[in-house]
Structure 1
Amino acid sequence: MLDHTPAHAGGRDGAAMTSAPAVAITHDFMEIYGGAERVTQELASAFPGAPLTAVLGRRSVAARMGVADRFTSVLPPRELLLRGYRVLAPALPAVVHHHRLDDADVVLSSSYAFAHLFETRNDAPQVCYCHSPLRFAWSMTEHYEDEKAAGSKLTRTAFRAMAAHNRRVDYRGAQHVHTYLTQSPYVAGQIEEFYGRRALVVGAPVDCSHFTPSGTAPEDYWLICGRLVEPYKRVTLALEAFRDLPGERLVIAGDGPAMAELQAKAPPNVTFLGHLEDDAVVKAMQNCKATIFPSRDDFGLIPVEVAACGRPVLAYGDGGALHTVVPGLTGEHFHEQTAGALLDALRAFDPGAYDPAAIRAHALKWDRAPFTARVQAVVAAVAAGTAIDEAAVTLS
């Protein structure tokens, strides 16, 4: 068991916790509805009375998450900010620190950037569901430097200084977190490496009652689904590969800041669907012959959602996909993050070689109900100041 008993164990007044804890939920950026927002939506559903505070977010995204009536955006959700908030990264920790939340028994943060820096007026302990330590400061600094600061030596120097500053701030913030939760052993390893903290792997929630097989034969297209953010998602690799596969069709479902750039690069056999509502996303997954997942994600909900629909996945063999995609059972890995390696893997991949029932059975371990129960148990223990039953809340 983990025993991280806080100084104010037992809740805000130090008494034994006898009712559901008062929880404050925090999130980073809700400019579009993606994987992190799906997880935060489940956290909000697990604690239906909890207010949700984001550094910046659209009211429309909050409505889609079902939290519009309890949602606060610290920064005003103006279109200019929503498009360009990434340039504010050096200042955002200070913005978060100056926004004290109301008293609570526990802060439950859903963080890949700054959400774990929020504090309450009564310094409540925090349970942080960490999607990833801040990527541009830790795990993807060189990628972001090449993409965002390649213009001159001066811009590279400035970027490195910014990343170093954010690493220091991020590390200090991480030491104030009471208990870390995460979705995969891959991210747990990053949390230990970068923060010196141990994390419990509780998985990620997938609504396996919504993502289901269609029961009909798939159509003749490959699918990429998700937020279009480069260089992180590496959709460009697929565009280059499909340029050499004119007889194959690729459908890309999703939106994001890189969409216009990707459309300009795309060969004629690639179709962009843009943003899709939930039912249309499920239909696209059900009907594809296979889904391509070219990024190194810390977890990646898409491979599990596709698996719940009974369809195989061809994924880059790193990060969370090492745990969510099982070669020979639910799909395959390609092992170099290049267009050539993806092209070779596509030519060798037989989507009909996988059993849809076996693929779905693998996905069920991430179903939303057991995920919710694990998170609720951790939050209740932290609020009460009792030890966490590690075996009961860790995904096997």
Structure 2
Amino acid sequence: MKVALCYDHLNKFGGAERVLMTLHELFPEAPLYSAVVDNQQATWASEFRVRSSFMQKLPGAAKRHEWYPGIPVFAFESFDFSEFDVVISITSAEAKGIVTSPHTLHICYLLTPTRFLWSHYWDYFTRPLLRKLSLPLVSLLRVWDGFAAARPDRYIAISKTIQQRIWKYYRRKSTVIYPPVDVNKFKIPAFAKALAGKQNSIRSASSGQELKIKKESYFLIVSRLVAYKHIEIAIKACNDLQLPLKIVGIGAEFKSLKAIAGRTIEFMGEVTDEELVTLYQNCSAFIAPQEEDFGISMVEALSCGRPVIAYQSGAASELITPHITGELFYPQSPEALAKILRKFAASQYNNRLCRESAGRFSAMQFKRNFLNYIEKEWKQFRQTVS
């Protein structure tokens, strides 16, 4: 079985890229196709045999593919996959639109139907003028996206939430296989022996000074600082209650979030993996005020034995068991979150139960489920085309 991988754009590292790295372990010989690759930002991609499209030669495209709206459509349609038995596209955008021969099985691991076209259109186009000016292009892209959604032979969804969206927008059935989380790296202190006999500390991104970390003395957010993550909800709730909140991550909304943050809010910026584990292990709880397609950070917190307080929408309901591994709040407002925080006590939650709930998202479980699925579908596909 000759396999190829296909991904939208290689210019960052996040949850989708972790999926790619795990698939690389399953299929080490598979080349990775992508519209563009930024070798400076995506150093991890050096482990793959990357095959980029004609977009790679366009000025600035490797770093700013968004400068060329609509062009990735043609980039992915230009790839030739005739030499492969199976092509696995990992995508939330155009990569599902590749064209494969009748003898090639195309399996799409869909992160979400394209957000700015469908489920979160209003979040992306909040300004009336921008919405009006972009509507003709958005309408054309929706038409293409609908056609492209018919091209994969099989769909895998990253969560039940995404499975529902695939049916709603594309009218395609799918199988749920949750993404992998490194539960071996994110452990409770009793497993990791990280807290035994030593003081915990991390280095502040803003001052460069070493900061002592006291167990269960703060709430934690780990997220890109972008509008649809709604970090402002947690900031306003913690401002009102004068509760300490540490925020890990960078993004375009940093200045606006910093402007509304009170004295109990601390922006940590980017941290090392070791520092991130320490922050998870010692927080009172992890807060997720946004609607998540899956929520890797939530699982990482659970794997470290910490409860999660999340907005009751998206995949949070699949990850969190109220009163056991965390709490869910509704509606998506500072007041609703504050109601939970006001009566929250970390001691009410069993760290072992939190960690056990994260076990079903391990990389080993993902590999087993994914490989079984691929082998079964390839066997059935061969019978239909032979």
Q: Secondary structure at the match of 1:49?
A: coil
- Aligned counterparts of 1:334 and 1:387: Cα–Cα separation in 2: 47
- Aligned counterparts of 1:387 and 1:291: Cα–Cα separation in 2: 46
Does residue 184 of structure 2 align to residue 191 of structure 1? no
Matches within 5 A, 1:46-195: 46-64=26-44, 67-74=46-53, 75-76=55-56, 81=61, 84-101=64-81, 103-119=83-99, 124-146=104-126, 150=127, 152=129, 155-195=130-170
Equivalent residues of 1:62, 1:68 under 8 A apart: no
Equivalent residues of 1:59, 1:68 under 8 A apart: no
Choose 352-361 or 237-246, whichever is displaced more.
Answer: 237-246
Equivalent residues of 1:103, 1:120 under 8 A apart: no
- Aligned counterparts of 2:187 and 2:171: Cα–Cα separation in 1: 39
Partner of 1:329: 324
Cα distance per residue 1:105-162 (max 9 Å; x no partner): 111111111121234578722111111100111101112121xxx152xx32233333
Q: CA RMSD in A?
A: 2.5
Count of equivalent residues = 360
Does residue 215 of structure 2 align to residue 235 of structure 1? no
Partner of 1:35: 15
Partner of 1:200: 175
Partner of 1:4: none
Deviation (angstroms), 1:61: 5.0
Report the identity percentage: 29
Q: Secondary structure at the match of 1:291?
A: strand
Unmatched tracts of structure 2, length 5 or more: 196-213
Partner of 1:8: none
Q: Secondary structure at the match of 1:177?
A: coil
Q: Secondary structure at the match of 2:189?
A: coil
Match of 1:347 among 318, 342, 350: 342
- Aligned counterparts of 2:305 and 2:58: Cα–Cα separation in 1: 40
Deviation (angstroms), 1:82: 6.0
Equivalent residues of 1:228, 1:255 under 8 A apart: yes
CA 1:141–1:285 in structure 2 vs 1: closer, same or farther (change >3 Å)? same
Partner of 1:212: 187
Equivalent residues of 1:44, 1:67 under 8 A apart: no
Partner of 2:222: 225
- Aligned counterparts of 2:185 and 2:57: Cα–Cα separation in 1: 31
Q: Secondary structure at the match of 1:363?
A: helix
